[in-house]
Amino acid sequence: MSALQQLWEAAGMPAQALEAVSLSGAEPVLPSSFKVGTAAQAAIAAAALAAAELGRVRNGVRQQVSVEMRHSALECCTHFSIDGRVPDAWDKLSGLYACGDGGWVRIHANFAHHRDGALRLLGLAPGSATERGDVANALRGWKALDFEQAAADAGLVVAALRTFDEWDRHPQAHALSQRPLLNIEKIGDAPPRSLPPLPHGARPLQGMRVLDLTRILAGPVGTRALAAYGADVMLVNSPHLPNIEAIADTSRGKLSAHADLRSADDRAAFEQVLREAHVFVQGYRPGGLAALGYGPDEVAALRPGIVMVSLSAYGSSGPWAPRRGFDSLVQTATGFNDAEAAAFGSGPPRALPMQILDHATGYLIALGAQAALLRQIGEGGSWHVQVSLARTGLWLHTLGRVPSGFDAPPPEFSGLLEASESGFGQLHALRHAARFSITPATWVRPSVPPGTHRLRWPVISPSGRV
């Protein structure tokens, strides 16, 4: 309960609401020396409890929320199948490599432009014909920190392995330590928004509109949770950018449209849906969306009363703020891979058993968005919520270690999966771990590929969706 209380207090939520939550289970639930189960359970419980609190404000009814630890941890494993096939989460070249100075680097090659850029930097021919052995041989001529910096200078995604002590001495770690886990600030004036009472049996976020400009796990996980709690979520992808297969899982419950923000027509359509949104979630690097004219101040001017949520890898300030990053890279750079290997007792650097930084941050997105919505309803204003993978990692580190963590069994998903038809095929994926006593979390829209829907909101009647 202490981990949940930390998150709840970080969001500025009312303490009495914690009486409505029940947590069960104990560590270890997955093989790790870190409290990944605790982190997963606390983050999911915080997001779900915030939805219950928002529902209470709207209809006066307090729901009970229960969350089981093992289910929470498994939900954070991104396990799903399409037509019976379990997609491979990683490109063959993604992973950790030893360098010539005894250091290690992790390369993220899941997107072709990142993979080919790293290969060019190593003097190798771009393309999928290159093997891991070729990359390993080329990296013997590099020092780990030099390759990390050269990749960053080239706009690529690489992280050098650090210990916790080495990361703690890094200027970016110092910048992160000055930031709250959830940064929620008022960025403009606007009157409080009056929300209609919830119809009987409606989920807490019914009638709320969420504009989702995120792609890789953390953001999509957060907005998927908001969809499960009843929000209309519109995922907006650029038609020019690639996606990963996990989009089939993380798009459950969402509308899915295309918009090219470099096109005048698409910008006009995008701004129209923005003016009708309650929440806007974006995962561009700090400053990236502002360069397109949609920074926090511009968004608040377009939609007074908006709640904007910004996700980054390493935070919004400090020397690494503009740097690209994914969960696996942040784990490597901030000390987790080194510490996990030391706890295991042998072998190379070791990853956490799931991308917990992505998933926990995703549920912090849902928590922060709902906490800011409650502030908007109560006092008005436009609000900006900021979260980062690296700051979530700092929180995970503070939760402590599990001495017998590697005694946990491997993941077992049977009994937790649900089947649904999707635009990708027959989808089997995990049910949501948070259980509501009155209005179960569910996804009423099927997962569909980007661009399936038009860039407009569905019509809403007083009794629900039309």
Q: Residue 15 carries which side chain, given as an amino acid letter?
A: A
Portion of the chain with pLDDT greater than 90, in percent: 91
Q: Let me know if residue 163 belongs to a domain.
A: no
Confidence class of residue 300 from pLDDT cuts 50, 70 and 90?
A: very high
β-pair partners for 434: 67
Q: Residue 284 belongs to a domain with what CATH number?
A: 3.40.50.10540
Q: Let me know if residue 101 belongs to a domain.
A: no
Residues 6+ apart with CB under 8 A from 195: 58, 207, 208, 377
Residues 6+ apart with CB under 8 A from 403: 33
| Residue 419, token pair as written in the block | 């089947």
Q: Give the DSSP letter of residue 251.
A: T
| 425 Rama class: left (phi>0) / alpha (psi -120 to 50) / beta | left
β-pair partners for 280: 211, 308
Q: Residue 105 carries which side chain, given as an amino acid letter?
A: V
Q: Let me know if residue 81 belongs to a domain.
A: yes
DSSP string, 71-91: HHHHHTT--EEETTB----S-
Residue 461 pLDDT more than 80? no
Q: Let me know if residue 160 belongs to a domain.
A: no
Average confidence (pLDDT) over 42-46: 98
β-pair partners for 232: 209
pLDDT in tens, 53-108: 999 999 999 999 999 999 999 999 999 999 999 998 899 999 999 999 999 999 99
Confidence class of residue 20 from pLDDT cuts 50, 70 and 90?
A: very high
pLDDT of residue 47: 99
pLDDT of residue 463: 44
pLDDT of residue 244: 84
pLDDT of residue 465: 44
Give the span between the Cα atoms of 182 and 119, in whole angstroms: 37
Q: Let me know if residue 126 belongs to a domain.
A: no
pLDDT of residue 57: 95
Whole-number Cα distances in Å, 461 to 51, 118, 207, 396, 464: 21, 51, 9, 43, 5
Domain that holds residue 448: 2-87+174-317+353-465
Q: Which of 162, 123, 128, 161 is nearest to 139 (CA)?
A: 123
Give the span between the Cα atoms of 357 and 159, in whole angstroms: 15
Q: Give the DSSP letter of residue 282.
A: E
Q: Let me know if residue 438 belongs to a domain.
A: yes
Q: Which of 368, 375, 307, 61 is nearest to 198 (CA)?
A: 61
pLDDT in tens, 338-365: 999 999 998 999 999 999 999 999 999 9
Task: Look up the pTM and report it.
Answer: 0.97
Q: Let me know if residue 347 belongs to a domain.
A: no
The total of structural domains in the chain comes to 1
pLDDT in tens, 192-239: 988 888 998 999 999 999 999 999 899 999 999 999 999 999 999 999
pLDDT of residue 460: 63
Query: CB pairs under 8 A, 24+ apart, for 460-463?
Result: 460/207, 460/232, 462/196, 462/199, 463/199
| Residue 186, token pair as written in the block | 């008022």
What kind and span of H or E run contains 6? helix 2-10
Cα dihedral: 351, 353, 355, 357 (round 10): -80
pLDDT in tens, 248-266: 999 999 999 999 999 999 9
Average confidence (pLDDT) over 424-449: 98
Give the span between the Cα atoms of 185 and 190, in whole angstroms: 14
Per-chain mean pLDDT for the chain: 95
Residue 462 pLDDT more than 50? no
Cα dihedral: 413, 418, 420, 423 (round 10): -30
Whole-number Cα distances in Å, 180 to 6, 11, 12, 173, 327: 11, 10, 12, 13, 19
Q: Give the DSSP letter of residue 34.
A: B
pLDDT in tens, 107-150: 999 888 999 999 999 999 998 788 999 999 999 999 999 999 99
Strands 232-237 and 254-258: parallel
Give the span between the Cα atoms of 65 and 13, in whole angstroms: 15
Confidence class of residue 466 from pLDDT cuts 50, 70 and 90?
A: very low
pLDDT of residue 464: 45
Strand, coil or helix: 290 = helix
Average confidence (pLDDT) over 424-443: 98
Q: Let me know if residue 382 belongs to a domain.
A: yes
